[in-house]
Amino acid sequence: MASPRTSRPVRIRQGSPVLPVLPVLPPLLRSARRSRGYVWSRGHAWTAVGVALAVFATACGGAVEERKAANPTDPAPAAYAPYSDTDNCGVTTSYDRPPKRAATLTSNATELMLELGLADRMVGTSYLKGRTIGDKYKEQYGKIPVLAEAQPSLEKLLEATPDFVYAGYPDGFSESSGHTRARLGELGVKTHLNPEGCAKSPVTFDQLFGELRSVGGIFGVSDRAETSVAALRARLDAVKAKVAGAPPVKVFVYNSGADAAQTTGGNSMLNEIIARAGGTNVFADLNERWTKVSWEQVAERKPDVVLIYDYVSPSVDSKIETLKSTPVLADVPAIRANAFPVISLSVAQPGPRSVDAVEELATRLHPQGS
């Protein structure tokens, strides 16, 4: 057996990330000396440490190689055509290669990526709070790391080493989140925001289809985007045919509020969903995504249906109780008819499942056509 004095030292390459392993060396030595009741010599122990360091260096080397795969200085794939995108907030971003490590900050952005078959380009998702993932996407979604149930911190986001971050709403890039578009840009991370994020005019399905095409262009999968758009458009056309000729149903959207009501104005995706389902949003004339109105205003517009927006709290039952117990609403047609269909945030936010929302709502507004 070789003497400890003749054991060969472990050589660590210059630049190898050794420091993170140093805190585990003392426990490793103690464990090594006690292993199976056998008292190791100093040489044996240091040999074990050398092996551990060698394994660690190899693992880190693999991590470095993995990061190098997404290095923005790598040559662009030959088949990729450089792409420039201006999103709904007026931010223009140019791409000379498709992103390889995307992170999404809301479920609708996640589902749009999955609609395009881009799960293999995703390193993290977040903000599923109060939402669900559609059955069509659950298998793919289950393979992607969840960075946070709500908004991830900048540190948590960067742990995933993304080269592209996609948000469904402006709060994904807010100052409070720590990961503004400017900050991520400084770090070499490209960003994108869903069309409803900065809407100053009504959001439509044409914009949603444009969003599919934009993300398809960014990732070099424009053919998939066109296939998806064609399929979604065909489903909308089928609903249009079913409700054709039926008088529009007057719809009031109730999100929350007791003294006043939070509802959707004319600039939200939900306004478009209602119209496509054969309804009319009674507050479509308000140039807002979401706004507050008085109960007197609701009563004046005499909705036929109150569409309950289901998101976390208060509960749907609690919202219905509020509506029924508000005196000024007593003679509103929707209240008298007990007409309270429910729509969840998961399908009402702008994304591929917005078409699901149209189909479901059309059945409730026009059951004779279903």
CATH of domain 83-231: 3.40.50.1980
Contact 46, 7 (CB under 8 A): yes
Distance between CA atoms of residues 226 and 211, nearest Å: 11
The helix/strand count (H/E) of the chain reads as 14, 13
Encode the chain (370 residues) as per-residue pLDDT tens digits.
Answer: 444 444 343 333 334 443 344 344 344 334 444 433 333 334 444 444 344 444 344 444 443 334 333 444 455 555 898 999 988 788 899 999 999 999 999 999 999 999 999 999 999 999 887 788 999 999 999 999 999 988 899 999 999 999 999 998 888 898 988 999 999 999 999 999 988 777 778 889 999 999 999 999 999 999 999 999 999 999 999 999 999 999 999 999 999 999 999 999 999 999 999 999 999 999 999 999 999 999 999 999 999 999 999 987 899 999 999 999 999 999 999 999 999 999 998 999 899 999 999 999 999 999 986 5
pTM of the model: 0.77
Query: The domain 246-369: what is its CATH number?
Result: 3.40.50.1980
* Packing angle of the helix pair 269-276, 354-365 (nearest 10 deg): 50
Q: Where are the domains of the chain?
A: 4-69, 83-231, 246-369
- Which CA distances in Å does 41 have to 8, 11, 31, 47, 50? 15, 21, 13, 10, 14
Tell me whether domains 83-231 and 246-369 share a fold: yes
Alpha carbon separation from 157 to 66, 74, 93, 105 (Å, rounded): 17, 23, 20, 10
